[in-house]
């Protein structure tokens, strides 16, 4: 089998102390197999579903009766990736929300968003990952980081055939949001979302194919995922 010329890993490595939306430890590794004692190595993992690079399924904000992570069709987890670069705007406004105009500007330059696309917002926030305080960015009890606007998500749902969305911050609702309208709108359209992506600077605006491999656990609201992009 001939693989594409390059594969970009869009997944942060899970480590204790990595940025987390809530101020608590969300990941640990406990050895149950010690080589010197047992002749093999094994770890028991404890991890929150919504930690590190992960996927959100509709159950997450819509509740029982909506699609769980194990019910996501496998064909929905691969598609052409569209990278909308808003680093300049997010650099000037930590609370920036990707707008319909950003999507229209992208299309004016690169053509219509392809059918089955995964639409990714590149805010540049990925560069803060190794400085958790700057990544979470709480001031006076309020998070400050970029996200999608609900208008942009509703426009995508109504006008384009997308599989999901993603971005390089903690949440696709921007930091100050308290009611999470983007999550609810996206999940109302039976789509999924990715959070905490990385290496988006290595993915072109158009032409890559993104693949998402989430943990498949029964009834889950989301989970850690290995995400990567094939380039021609």
Q: Is the pTM of this model over 0.85?
A: yes
Asked, for residue 205, whether it belongs to a domain, the answer is yes
Asked, for residue 1, whether it belongs to a domain, the answer is no
Say if CB 162 and CB 121 are below 8 A apart.
no
Please count the structural domains in the chain: 1
Asked, for residue 154, whether it belongs to a domain, the answer is yes
User: What is the arithmetic mean of pLDDT over 194-206?
Assistant: 98
Does residue 1 carry a pLDDT above 70?
Answer: no
Which band of pLDDT confidence, cut at 50, 70 and 90, is reported for residue 218? very high
Instruction: Say what the pLDDT of residue 194 is.
Output: 98
Instruction: Say what the pLDDT of residue 4 is.
Output: 63
Asked, for residue 139, whether it belongs to a domain, the answer is yes
User: What is the arithmetic mean of pLDDT over 88-99?
Assistant: 98
Does residue 23 carry a pLDDT above 90?
Answer: no
User: What is the arithmetic mean of pLDDT over 20-35?
Assistant: 95
Say if CB 224 and CB 26 are below 8 A apart.
no
Asked, for residue 76, whether it belongs to a domain, the answer is yes
pLDDT in tens, 105-132: 999 999 999 999 999 999 999 999 999 9
Domain that holds residue 107: 6-231
User: What is the arithmetic mean of pLDDT over 18-47?
Assistant: 96
User: What is the arithmetic mean of pLDDT over 71-92?
Assistant: 98
Asked, for residue 174, whether it belongs to a domain, the answer is yes
Asked, for residue 165, whether it belongs to a domain, the answer is yes
CATH at residue 180: 3.50.30.50
List the beta bridge partners of residue 165. Answer: 119, 193
Instruction: Say what the pLDDT of residue 3 is.
Output: 66
CB atoms within 10 A of CB 90: 25
Residue % of the chain over a pLDDT of 70: 98
* Rounded (10°) CA dihedral 226, 220, 144, 184: 120
């Amino acid at each position: 089998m001939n693989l594409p010329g390059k594969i970009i890993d869009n997944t942060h490595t899970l480590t204790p102390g990595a940025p987390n939306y809530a101020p608590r430890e969300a990941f640990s590794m406990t050895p149950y197999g010690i080589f010197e004692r047992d002749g093999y190595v094994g770890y028991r993992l404890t991890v929150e579903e919504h930690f590190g690079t992960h996927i959100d399924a509709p159950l997450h904000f819509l509740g029982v009766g909506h699609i769980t992570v194990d019910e996501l069709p496998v064909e929905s987890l691969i598609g052409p990736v569209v990278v909308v670069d808003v680093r300049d705007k997010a650099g000037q406004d930590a609370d920036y929300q990707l707008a319909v105009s950003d999507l229209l500007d992208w299309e004016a330059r690169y053509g219509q968003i392809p059918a089955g696309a995964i639409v990714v917002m590149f805010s540049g926030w990925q560069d803060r990952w190794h400085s958790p305080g700057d990544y979470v960015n709480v001031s006076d009890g309020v998070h400050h980081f970029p996200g999608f606007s609900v208008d942009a998500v509703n426009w995508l749902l109504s006008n384009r055939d997308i599989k999901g969305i993603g971005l390089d911050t903690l949440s696709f609702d921007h930091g100050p949001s308290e009611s999470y309208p983007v999550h609810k709108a996206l999940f109302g359209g039976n789509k999924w979302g990715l959070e905490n992506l990385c290496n988006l600077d290595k993915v072109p605006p158009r032409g890559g194919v993104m693949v998402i491999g989430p943990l498949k656990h029964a009834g889950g609201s989301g989970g850690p995922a290995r995400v990567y992009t094939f380039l021609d």
